[in-house]
Amino acid sequence: MTGNGDLFNASPNRSAAEIDRINRDFYGRFNYPWLPMMLPMLMDPTFLPRFIAQELGDFSGRRVPPDAQIWVAGCGTNQAVLTALRFPGAQVLGTDVSTRSLQVARDTADQLGLANLTLEEASLNDPLHHERFDHVICTGVIHHNADPERPLDMLARALKPDGVMELMVYNFYHRQHTTAYQKAIRLLSGGQQGLLETELAMTRDLIADGRLPGSMAGFLAAQRDLPEPAVADSLLQPVEYSYTVQSLAAMCQRVGLQLLQPCLNQFDKLSGRFNWDPPLPEGQTREAFDKLDDLARWQVANLLMQEASPMLWFYVQRQGSRPSRAEINAAFMAQCFRHAATPVRSFVLGVDQRYTESGHSGQWPVPALPADPVARAVHAACDGVTPMRVILDRLAMDQPELDRSPAGITRLRQVLTTPAFPYLVAA
C-alpha cells in the first residue's frame, strides 16, 4: 500500500480508470503547464545527455546516449516538446491521458517543425512498453493516480535494464497547506468531483478575502498573481498522494527500482532549495551525518529540513550497483574539465499564441558564466588539463569561502557540471 495514504484527496474506492477519467477532465479544463514565452532548441545532441551522465557520476558521459529512446510519461502540454528540443538526436515519445494537453503539445510541435517527437493518448495504468527506453521522464504524474505504485511499475518495466528514469513525486512536507486546502474545498463544494467551477469561484473569493488566520493566509496570498492553471494544479487537484524520502524509496523498491541521485530541477534551482546537506553542528552530529549512506542522509535531510527540503525529484534505475556520493565526488575531484556551450535556436511566443523562430543566434547555458562567485573562479581556472583537485588546492589560498567538505564538493559539482548548471564538461 502507498505511504501517507491519508493525504489522498479522492475516494479511496475509485478505480484506476475512474481516476484517469477525473484527470482527463481536470487537465482538459486547466492546461498544465501553460505555454512558456521562449523555447530553446539545443543544437548539440550530445550536450544534455553528457550533463545527465555527469549528474549521475559518469564523467565519461555515456549513461544516456545522444540517440536515446526517451519516454515522457504524463507529458502535459509541453514537457515532451521541451524534451525533443533538448535532445535533438533522440526519439521522444510523449503520452498523457489528457486529449486537450496532447493537442496543445501537437500544435506547438507543428509550429516548431519537430521531427523527433511522437505523441500518443494512453494511461500509465495500462501496460504499454517492455524494456524499450534508455531514459524515462515522469514528473508530477504518478501521485495523481488511484494507486501510484501501479504506474510506477509500468514505468519500471518500460525502462531498459541500464536505463535511467527522472522521477518526481510530491514531498509530503511541501504539501501540508495544499492538501488541507484541497480537502476543505472538496467539503465546501459538496464532496463531488465535477464541481471545479464552483471550487474555482470559492477559491477566488477566499484568496481575495484574505482573512484566514495563521499560515494559510500567506499560502493563499501567494496564489493571488499565479496563472489559473497553477492555482488549480495546487488548490483544486482532485487526486494526490505525497511522499517522504523513506516512503518513496520503499515504493521504488517494491517495483524493482532504486534511487540513484537527486535531480537538480528548475523549481529547486529557482528557489535555491537544492541542498540535501542540512546545516549541522560541527563535531559528532556532522560526523555521524557524513558517515550515513546516501539514502539515510537524504532521509535525515527530509526529516530535519521539512518544508525547506528539496523536492522529491530523483534519478532512479532498476536495482543494481550504484555509485555513492563519496565515489562521485572522488571522480569529480580527479577529473579535468573544459568549458561547455552549445548553440541554440530560439522560438518565441507571439501575441497570437504561436511560436516563431526569433532569428537571433544564441548560446546555452544562460547566463554564460556561473553566478556563484566561487563557482565562477573554479570555472575560470578549468583548462581541460588540470584536475579539479589541483585547481581547488590552488584556489583555497585566496578563496576562503571555498568549502571542501563533502557537502561543499557536492554543491560545486551541482552548480558547475549538471543539466541545471551546464558549465563544465569532462575533458
In the complex, the residues that contact ligand SAM under the rule CB under 6 A are 20, 23, 27, 32-33, 74-76, 79, 95-98, 101, 123-125, 139-141, 144-145, 151, 233
Report the nearest approach of ligand SAM to the CB of residue 406 (Å).
31
Query: Please, which residue, 76 or 163, has the CB nearer to ligand SAM?
Result: 76
- Interstrand relation of 355-357 and 421-422 (parallel, antiparallel or unpaired): unpaired
Compute the distance between CA of residue 159 and CA of residue 157 in angstroms, rounded to an integer: 6
Which residue, 41 or 119, is less far from ligand SAM as judged by CB? 119
Helix, strand, coil % (nearest 5) of the chain? 45, 20, 40
The minimum distance between CB 150 and ligand SAM, in angstroms, equals 9
Runs of H (alpha helix) within 89-128 = 99-112
Q: Which is nearer to ligand SAM, 98 or 317 (CB)?
A: 98
Please check whether residue 239 is in contact with residue 19, taking contact to mean a CB–CB distance below 8 angstroms: yes
Residue 306 neighbours by CB distance under 10 Å: 13
Report, in Å, the least distance between residue 254 CB and ligand SAM: 18
Minimum CB separation of residue 213 from ligand SAM in Å reads 30
Q: DSSP string of 126-191?
A: S---SS-EEEEEEES-GGGSSSTHHHHHHHHHHEEEEEEEEEEE-BGGG-HHHHHHHHHHHHHTTS
CB 190, min distance to ligand SAM, A: 24
Q: What cell numbers appear for 142 in the block?
A: 504518478
Rounded to a whole number of angstroms, the minimum distance from the CB of residue 14 to ligand SAM is 13
Residue (177 or 297) nearer to ligand SAM, CB: 177
Q: Closer to ligand SAM by CB, 136 or 328: give it.
A: 136
Pairwise CA distance, residues 50 & 89, whole Å:
13
Give the list of residues 6+ apart from residue 217 with CB closer than 8 angstroms, or none: 210, 211
Provide, rounded to whole angstroms, the least separation between the CB of residue 130 and ligand SAM.
17
**Residue placing its CB nearer to ligand SAM in the complex, 75 or 344:** 75
* CA dist., res. 318 & res. 315, Å (int): 11
Closest contact distance (angstroms) between CB of 154 and ligand SAM is 9
Give the Cα separation of 246 and 192 in Å (integer). 32
Pick between residue 123 and residue 410 the one whose CB is nearest to ligand SAM: 123
Nearest to ligand SAM of 20, 58 (CB atom): 20
**Quick one: which H or E segment has residue 22?**
helix 16-29
Among residues 2 and 139, whose Cβ is nearest to ligand SAM?
139
CA distances from 128 to 125, 151, 165, 233, 404 (A): 9, 10, 16, 27, 46
Q: CB of residue 129 vs ligand SAM: minimum separation in angstroms?
A: 13
Tell which residue, 64, 280, 312, 302, has the closest CA to residue 167: 312
Find the residue with minimal CB distance to ligand SAM.
76
Whether the CB-CB separation of 73 and 137 falls below 8 Å is answered with yes
Q: CA–CA separation, 380 vs 373, rounded Å?
A: 10
